[in-house]
């Protein structure tokens, strides 16, 4: 049994080799460029499950001199790796064969080959030479069609050639492949060399386990975020009643800003869970997630149906009805008259830190405390939840090769909200959590969170 499965990615410049490595190894720091010749030397990237390296991918610049390399391979006989070894020994000091030697080296070390082509272009004699060299090395090898363009005219001729030269042929779009596509490709790699089967099966098992952990952490992050969003409020203190209307507007802005910041923190956390280190992952053009949290489109597309809202309303008791929600987004204002001694936590927000507690007593009596939030609408928690779930699914299936903003996601890339499909029993689980948070009971919140987590794990697509 070979220990660590190693695969070298080979192909013409600009065919998407580094993109395949980035998506398979879940590493978005790999250099990908529209200009051919980006990768100029061999680079090794590990795919890890937890801290354990389970597969190694070797990114290569591709062949430098395939025609004359093939000529040499044809002139020189040799069994197994022996001929490849001799080729490297003979050419390693020759600058004309630098890349060829480099990419053949992992094969001698026991690596398999993943040959990448963009099958939207016709096959050339250079491609034929490359495929023939790989066949003559007799290493385990798979061809991957990375369909960069829509053109399928040449697909059949590619497939015929592939069948003659490779143990397996797969289509894999490096910029769109999600978790399931990645697992399927790894499963297929098992078939190119039986010796790898045990190690790859173990690797896939560890990846699934790792995925399970990520989904559970995501569910926990959603629960934390929802709790913060439900508790979120802003207050200030006014000396005169005449300023209340203006202050309400200002506070509403402040409240929205605060919600936005805690949602951003949540999204940062989710990206971190899925090893997305690029600061902004680009949401598709028509994504509902690009909408403001309180926009009408968000509240129509996400959250509960009218029928469910009636159920949630009854379970929550005393919230706002659906009609009022759409108008105000459930943002409520409290205006409280206060006197110096009664100033609570809200007053500390007044003029920020300038207001020291010791000075509170010097405040004129009879001021007003203005508060925005917490949000009391029945619909709000579910709109926020759907946003979190959609974002999480998007991040969980992010292809680490994606760079350009122009990349469109498949229609299945974004679904409508999840909560509108929840049954009464599921709504009960969710509302129990919302209610516990609103009541401010830490114990009840913790208790409800456990069951809620199971529901969220399921909503995130299960852990399979
Ligand atoms: N549309 C589309 N573009 C892709 C796909 N895969 C890669 N590309 C683009 O093709 C270009 C080349 O991708 P790379 O991954 O750098 O290709 P490479 O084979 O490593 O290139 P070199 O290192 O130059 O040999 C980049 O602009 C990629 O964004 C794909 O599946 N679809
Ligand atoms: Mg490259």
The yes-or-no verdict on residue 402 having pLDDT over 90 is no
| Confidence at 153, pLDDT banded by 50, 70, 90 | confident
Q: Which residues does 243 contact at the CB level (< 8 Å), separation at least 6?
A: none
pLDDT tens-digit readout, 340-373:
333 333 333 333 222 223 233 334 556 778 888 8
Instruction: Evaluate: CB of 402 within 6 angstroms of ligand 1.
Output: no
pLDDT tens-digit readout, 169-179:
999 999 889 99
Of 93-102, 314-323, 369-378, 386-395, the one with minimum mean pLDDT is 314-323
Q: Which ligand is nearest to the CA of 35?
A: 1
Which numbered atom of ligand 1 lies nearest the CA of 40?
23
Looking at residue 335, its pLDDT comes to 59
Q: Which ligand is nearest to the CA of 12?
A: 1
Looking at residue 238, its pLDDT comes to 80
**Residue ranges of the chain that CATH labels 3.40.50.300:** 6-192
Q: 108 with 88: CB under 8 angstroms?
A: yes
- Rounded distance, CA 108 to CA 132, Å? 17
C-beta neighbour count of 184 within 10 angstroms: 13
User: Per the structure block, which two tokens stand in for 263?
Assistant: 């949602």
The yes-or-no verdict on residue 116 having pLDDT over 60 is yes
User: Is 411 or 381 the better-scoring residue by pLDDT?
Assistant: 381
Average pLDDT, the chain: 84
Top-ranked range on mean pLDDT: pick from 134-138, 401-405, 429-433 = 429-433
Q: How far is the CA of 103 from the centre of ligand 1 (A)?
A: 19
3-class secondary-structure state, position 337:
strand
Proportion of the chain above pLDDT 70, given as a percent: 85
Instruction: Evaluate: CB of 175 within 6 angstroms of ligand 1.
Output: yes
The yes-or-no verdict on residue 428 having pLDDT over 70 is yes
3-class secondary-structure state, position 235:
strand
Which numbered atom of ligand 1 lies nearest the CA of 13?
25
Q: Which ligand is nearest to the CA of 175?
A: 1
Which numbered atom of ligand 1 lies nearest the CA of 116?
19
To the question of domain 6-192 being in CATH 1.10.287.70, the answer is: no
pLDDT tens-digit readout, 438-452:
999 999 999 999 999
Looking at residue 263, its pLDDT comes to 97
pLDDT tens-digit readout, 239-275:
777 878 888 889 888 999 999 999 999 999 999 999 9
- Rounded distance, CA 67 to CA 199, Å? 35
Which numbered atom of ligand 1 lies nearest the CA of 146?
31
Burial of 312 (0-12, 13-18, 19+ CB in 10 A): buried
Quick one: which of 451, 442, 440, 452 has its CA closest to 382? 452
User: Per the structure block, which two tokens stand in for 142?
Assistant: 């798979």
């Amino acid at each position: 049994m070979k220990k660590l499965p190693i695969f070298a990615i080979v192909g013409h410049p600009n065919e998407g080799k580094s993109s395949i490595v980035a998506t398979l190894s879940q590493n978005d720091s790999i250099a990908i460029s529209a200009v051919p010749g980006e990768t100029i030397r061999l680079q090794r990237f590990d795919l890890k499950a937890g801290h354990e390296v389970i597969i190694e991918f070797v990114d290569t610049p591709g062949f430098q001199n395939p025609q004359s390399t093939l000529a040499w391979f044809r002139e020189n006989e040799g069994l197994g790796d022996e001929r490849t070894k001799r080729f490297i020994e003979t050419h390693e000091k020759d600058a004309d064969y630098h890349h060829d030697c480099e990419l053949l080296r992992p094969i001698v070390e026991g690596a398999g080959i993943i040959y990448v082509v963009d099958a939207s272009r016709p096959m050339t004699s250079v491609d034929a030479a490359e495929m023939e060299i790989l066949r003559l090395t007799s290493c385990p090898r798979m061809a991957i069609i990375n369909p960069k363009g829509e053109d399928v005219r040449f697909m059949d001729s590619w497939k015929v050639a592939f069948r003659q030269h490779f143990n397996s042929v797969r289509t894999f779009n490096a910029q769109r492949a999600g978790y399931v596509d990645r697992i399927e490709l790894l499963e297929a790699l098992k078939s190119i060399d039986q010796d790898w089967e045990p190690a790859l099966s173990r690797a896939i098992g560890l990846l699934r386990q790792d995925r399970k952990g990520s989904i559970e952490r995501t569910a926990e992050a959603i629960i934390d975020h929802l709790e913060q969003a439900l508790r979120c409020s802003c207050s200030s203190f006014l000396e005169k009643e005449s300023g209340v209307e203006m202050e309400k507007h200002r506070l509403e802005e402040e409240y929205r800003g605060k919600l936005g910041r805690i949602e951003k923190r949540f999204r940062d956390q989710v990206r971190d869970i899925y090893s997305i280190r690029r600061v902004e992952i680009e949401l598709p053009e028509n994504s509902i997630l690009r909408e403001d949290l309180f926009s009408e489109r968000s509240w129509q597309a996400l959250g509960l149906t009218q029928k469910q809202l009636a159920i949630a309303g009854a379970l929550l008791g005393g919230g706002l009805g659906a009609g009022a929600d759409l108008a105000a987004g459930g943002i409520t204002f409290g205006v409280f008259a206060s006197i110096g001694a009664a100033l609570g936590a809200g007053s500390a927000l007044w003029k920020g830190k300038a207001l020291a507690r010791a000075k509170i007593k010097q405040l004129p009596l009879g001021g007003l405390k203005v508060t925005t939030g917490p949000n009391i609408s029945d619909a709000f928690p579910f709109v926020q939840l759907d946003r979190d779930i959609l974002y999480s699914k998007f991040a969980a299936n992010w292809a680490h090769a994606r760079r350009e903003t122009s990349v469109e996601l498949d229609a299945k890339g974004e679904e409508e909200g999840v909560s509108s499909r929840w049954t009464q029993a599921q709504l009960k689980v969710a509302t129990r959590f919302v209610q516990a948070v609103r009541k401010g009971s830490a114990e009840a919140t913790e208790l409800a969170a456990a069951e809620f987590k199971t529901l969220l794990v399921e909503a995130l697509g299960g852990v399979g």
